[in-house]
Amino acid sequence: MNRVRSARLLRNIASPIAFLVIWQLWGAAQPQRGGYPVPERVLLAAQELIRTGDLPIAFLVSIQRVAAGFLLACLIAVPLGLLMGYFRLVERNLDPLVQTFRSVAPIALVPLAIIWFGTGNISAIFIVAYGAVWPLLINTIHGVKGVDIKLVRAAQTMGLSRGQILRTVILPGALPSMFVGVRLAMGVAWGAIVAAELAVGAKSGSSGGLGQMMFLFYAYSVEMNNIVVCMITVGLVAFVIDRSLRALQALLMPWATR
Amino acid sequence: MQGAGESPIIRVENVQKIFYVARTRQTVQAVESADLQIYRGEFLSIVGPSGCGKSTLLNMIAGLEQPTAGRITMEGKPVLGPSADRGMCFQEYALFPWKTVWENVAFGLRYGPKGAGCSKQALNDTVRCFIDLVSLTGSESKYPHELSGGMRQRCALARLFAYDPTVLLMDEPLAAVDAQTRIVLQEELLRIWGQEALPANQRKTVVYVTHAIEEAVFLSDRVAIMSSQPAHTREVVVIDLPRPRTAAVRGEPRFRALTDQIWGLIRDEAYRATLR
C-alpha cells in the first residue's frame, strides 16, 4: 500500500523536478550569469522576501482583493445566470451584451477603472470582479439549461411551484456546472489581479499587492530573481486554490464526482 | 373497478394534440383523437405501438401538456396543469441525483403541498414506511447513481406513493430494466399497489403506459388500446383474471387468450410500423 502511494507520488512530481533541473542547467549555460534567474538564486531571493515580510504582506493584500472581487462577481453572476437560464426572454435580451463584453479582457478596463475609482483597492476589486463574472455567468446559464427536463416535470407533478422548483431542482441541478464556473473564474480573477496591480493598487497603505511588487522590482531595482519569486507565488497559490475547490466540490457534491 | 352507474374519476373527451416542431417548422399530430374513462381504484393500462401518442396522452392527463382540442377532467374539474393529485412515475425514473434515497422519497412531502402541516415525525414515519414497502431499507443514504436499475425503480415508486397522490400515472416505468428484473418488479408493483393488502375500493387509481402486452394483461383491470396514423384510442379490453395474481397466472389459458386477443387487435399495425 505504502509502496503504491510513494510510487504514485514519485510519478506526480517527476515532471516538476525535471523542469527544475533543466532550468538550472539552462541558467548555468548562459554567458552572463547575472541576468538569468536560476532555481538556487530564486530560492535565496524567496527566503529574503519572506524574512522581510514583503512577500507575505503583498500576498495578503492581493488575495483579499481577489476574494472581494470574486464575491462581488458571484453576487452578480449567480442570480443573473439563474434568471437567464430559466427565462428564455431574459436570455435572448441579455445574451448579445454578455457575448460582447466577455471578450473584453479585464486588463482593458484598467484605464476606465483608474478614472472612475482611482488607483486603490476599489479599482483592483472592480477589475477582478469584471474578469470573474463572465465564466461564472456563462457556466451558471449552461448549468440551468442542462438540468434534465424530467426532473423539473417530476417536481411539477408533486405540486411544487415555480419558485420552489427553482430552489430545489434548478439550483442544485446547475451546481456542478456552476462549480466549473467558480474554478474558471478563480483562475481569471487571480490572473487579473496581477495585471491590475501592475497599474493600480499602489495607494493602499503598506503594499500594492503582488502585481505592484513585481512592477517595482522591474521598474526600479531590476531584481529578476524577485520577479520570478512573485511569478511562482502566483502560480502556486492558483494551484492550491484550484485543488481546494476540487476537494470542496467532492465534499459538497458527492453525486457529481466520478 | 367500475360499478354500474359509477362516474369515472378521469374523463378524456375527444382530445387532440398537435406539436409545432421548431427545427423542421412543421406541425406533428401526436394525438388525433382520444376518448377514455378511468374509474376510481382501477389499474388501467394503455398499450399501443411506438408513436401512437400514448405517452403524450399520459402527459396531458398529468397536466404537463395541454390538449390542442378536447378536454380532460378529473373529478369533474378540468385539468389545467400539473398537480400533486396526479403523481407521475417516469421512464428513466427521474430521481434527483443530488438527493439520497431517503431524501428522494421525502421530496414530495417536504417541498410539495401534500406535506403541508405534516410534522417532522409523521414525515419520517411515512418515508420509512414506504422505503420499507419497496425493500430499500439499509440503502437510505445511497445516491441514485449507486443503485441498480431495479432499486432505482423501486425508489421512484416509493417517492410516488409517499406523497399520496389520488391517481398514479406511470410512463413505461419498467422499460429500462432487464427482462428478469421486469417480471419481479411487475409482481412487486402489484404488491405495493395493494392487490392483497387493500380491498379493491381502497387501491389507488393507476394509469399505466406500456408497449408490452403481457405486462399490461398481467397488471391491469382494463387495457386500453391505441393505434397510430391517425393516433387514436380504440377498444378497451377487460382483464377478468382474478386477483391476487402471481407469476403463475401467465401459464393460464385465459391469460394467453387475452394477450392473443390484444395482439390480434394491434398486430397489423405493429407490423406496418416496424417494417415500414
In a domain, B124, yes or no: yes
Q: B269 and B258 share a domain?
A: yes
In a domain, B18, yes or no: yes
Q: B67 and B148 share a domain?
A: no
* Minimum Cα–Cα distance from B164: chain A residue: A158
- Mark which of B123, B148, B165 sits at the end of a domain: B165
Mean pLDDT of A45-53: 90
H helix or E strand, kind and range, residue A183: helix A171-199
Q: How confident is the model at residue A221 (pLDDT cuts 50, 70, 90)?
A: confident
Q: How confident is the model at residue B5 (pLDDT cuts 50, 70, 90)?
A: low
Mean pLDDT of A37-66: 89
Q: Give the pairing of strands B167-171 and B10-21.
A: unpaired
Q: Max alpha carbon distance in chain B (Å)?
A: 57
Q: Are A158 and B114 in contact (CB under 8 A)?
A: yes
Q: B152 and B171 share a domain?
A: no
Q: Is the pLDDT of residue A60 over 60?
A: yes
Q: Phi first, then psi: what are they for B58, rounded to 5°?
A: -65, -40
In a domain, B101, yes or no: yes
The percentage of residues in chain A with a pLDDT greater than 70, rounded to a whole number, is 94
In a domain, B90, yes or no: no
Task: Give me the architecture of the A56-252 domain, per CATH.
Answer: Orthogonal Bundle (1.10)
Burial class (CB in 10 A: 0-12, 13-18, 19+), A28: exposed
- Mark which of B138, B165, B192 sits at the end of a domain: B165
Number of domains into which chain B is organized? 2
In a domain, B5, yes or no: no
How confident is the model over B172-231, as pLDDT tens digits? 998 888 888 889 889 989 998 988 888 888 899 999 999 899 999 999 999 999 988 788
Q: Is the pLDDT of residue B13 over 90?
A: yes
Mean pLDDT of B153-177: 92
When mean pLDDT is compared across A221-225, B61-65, B109-113, B161-165, the lowest value belongs to A221-225
Cα dihedral A207, A213, A219, A224, rounded to 10, equals 150
Q: Phi first, then psi: what are they for A202, rounded to 5°?
A: -75, -30
Q: Where are the alpha helices (DSSP H) in chain B?
A: 54-62, 101-111, 120-133, 149-162, 179-193, 213-219, 253-275
Q: Mean pLDDT, chain A, as a whole number? A: 87
DSSP at B20: E
Q: Cα(first)–Cα(last) distance of chain B, in Å? A: 39
pLDDT (0 to 100) of residue A34: 60
In a domain, B63, yes or no: yes
Q: Is the pLDDT of residue B29 over 60?
A: yes
Q: Are A232 and A145 in contact (CB under 8 A)?
A: no
What's the pTM value of the predicted model, to 2 decimals? 0.82
* Minimum Cα–Cα distance from B162: chain A residue: A158
Q: Is the pLDDT of residue A36 over 70?
A: yes
Q: Percent helix, strand, coil in chain A (nearest 5)?
A: 85, 0, 15
Question: Distance, in angstroms, between A163 CA and closest chain B CA?
Answer: 11
Q: B171 and B214 share a domain?
A: yes
Q: How confident is the model at residue A29 (pLDDT cuts 50, 70, 90)?
A: confident
- Output b/e per residue, A47-81; b: 16+ Cβ within 10 A: eebeeeebbeebbebbbbbbebbbebbbebbbebb
Handedness of CA B244, B248, B254, B260 (dihedral sign): positive
CATH for B77:
3.40.50.300
Question: Residue holding cell 445516491?
Answer: B143
Q: B241 and B183 share a domain?
A: yes
- Cell numbers placing B66: 395541454
Q: Is the pLDDT of residue A1 over 50?
A: yes
The percentage of residues in chain A with a pLDDT greater than 90, rounded to a whole number, is 43
pLDDT (0 to 100) of residue A201: 58
pLDDT (0 to 100) of residue B2: 47
pLDDT (0 to 100) of residue A207: 66
Chain B residues whose CB is inside 8 A of the A151 CB are 94, 96
- Cell numbers placing B59: 402527459
**What whole-number distance in Å separates Cα of residue A72 and Cα of residue A74?**
5
Q: Does the beta-carbon distance from B87 to A160 stay under 8 Å?
A: no
Q: Bigger pLDDT: A129 or A198?
A: A129
Q: Does the beta-carbon distance from A157 to B143 stay under 8 Å?
A: no
In a domain, B17, yes or no: yes
Q: B192 and B70 share a domain?
A: yes
For residue B218, give its domain range. 10-85+167-275
Domain boundaries, chain A: 56-252
pLDDT (0 to 100) of residue A203: 53
Q: B103 and B55 share a domain?
A: no
Site from B95, B98, B157 to mutate, A interface, most A CB atoms within 10 angstroms: B98
How confident is the model over A141-162, as pLDDT tens digits? 999 999 999 999 999 999 999 8
Q: B39 and B79 share a domain?
A: yes
pLDDT (0 to 100) of residue B1: 47
How confident is the model over A77-133, as pLDDT tens digits? 999 999 999 888 888 889 889 888 888 888 888 888 888 988 888 889 999 999 999
In a domain, B240, yes or no: yes
**What whole-number distance in Å separates Cα of residue B61 and Cα of residue B70?**
12
Residue A83, number of CB atoms within 10 A of its CB = 17
The percentage of residues in chain B with a pLDDT greater than 70, rounded to a whole number, is 98
Q: Is the pLDDT of residue A138 over 90?
A: yes
Chain A residues whose CB is inside 8 A of the B64 CB are 153, 156-157
**What whole-number distance in Å separates Cα of residue B93 and Cα of residue B84?**
17
Burial class (CB in 10 A: 0-12, 13-18, 19+), A240: exposed
Site from A147, A157, A179 to mutate, B interface, most B CB atoms within 10 angstroms: A157
Mean pLDDT of A162-190: 93
**What whole-number distance in Å separates Cα of residue A157 and Cα of residue A146?**
20
Beta bridge partners of B69: B16
- Mark which of B165, B191, B226 sits at the end of a domain: B165
